[in-house]
Amino acid sequence: MNPKIIQLPALTLLGLETLFISAQSPDANNLALIPPLFGRFFARRAELAPALDAFTYGACRCLPSDQRRHADELAYLVCASVDADAPVPAGMTVWRVPALTYALFTHRGPIARLSETISFIHGTWLLHSDYQHANRPELERYDERFGDGGEQCELDYLVPVQTKTATD
């Protein structure tokens, strides 16, 4: 699985946020929390300003250690990309992501196996590539290729990267 290295402009992501325990943790609760969050987001999507692209995003970021209740706790945002000055409906959250370089992977197969793609990216590809994680949110991009999330499912998984330095 080889990624395409792409540049994305700055993004203003607007949607619903939750905290969860990573799929790689023995205490994982991602499957209990994230799918229902998508349902709540789609029920409220009409409240958002028009999206700037055709994707629904899932954005994931690490929390500072002093903000975590669990060592493997992360923040997840189901969202759309909107104008920077878009109004923020009650109960929704904005993440502002700067323009970045990403390694774009295409996950193919059931959404329930997305954690395998993520494990490959972090456990194999990043270790052997010329890149390191840029410590910004990772992005999932969903469009019509997602289908029902089953065997024919496809989605983009984007990891923010920067070139490794000589000391890495």
Which amino acid is present at 31?
Answer: L
Q: What is the pLDDT of residues 37-60, one digit of tens each?
A: 999 999 999 999 999 999 999 999
CA angle 100/50/53 to nearest 5° reads 40
Taking the C-alpha atoms of residue 47 and residue 150, their distance in angstroms, rounded to an integer, is 29
Q: What is the pLDDT of residues 74-112, one digit of tens each?
A: 999 999 999 999 999 999 999 999 999 999 999 999 998
Using the Cα atoms of residue 28, residue 132, residue 161 and residue 4 in order, give the sign of their dihedral.
Answer: negative
How far is residue 48 from each of residues 84, 94, 95, 150, measured CA to CA in Å?
A: 12, 11, 14, 28
Average pLDDT over residues 138-158: 96
Q: pLDDT > 70: what percent of the chain?
A: 98
pLDDT for 167 beyond 70: no
Least confident of 22-36, 48-62, 118-132, 140-154: 22-36
Highest mean pLDDT among 20-24, 63-67, 96-100: 96-100
- Mean pLDDT taken over the chain: 94
**DSSP letter at 36?**
H
Domains of the chain, first to last? 4-163 (3.20.80.10)
Q: What is the pLDDT of residue 82?
A: 98
Average pLDDT over residues 137-153: 96
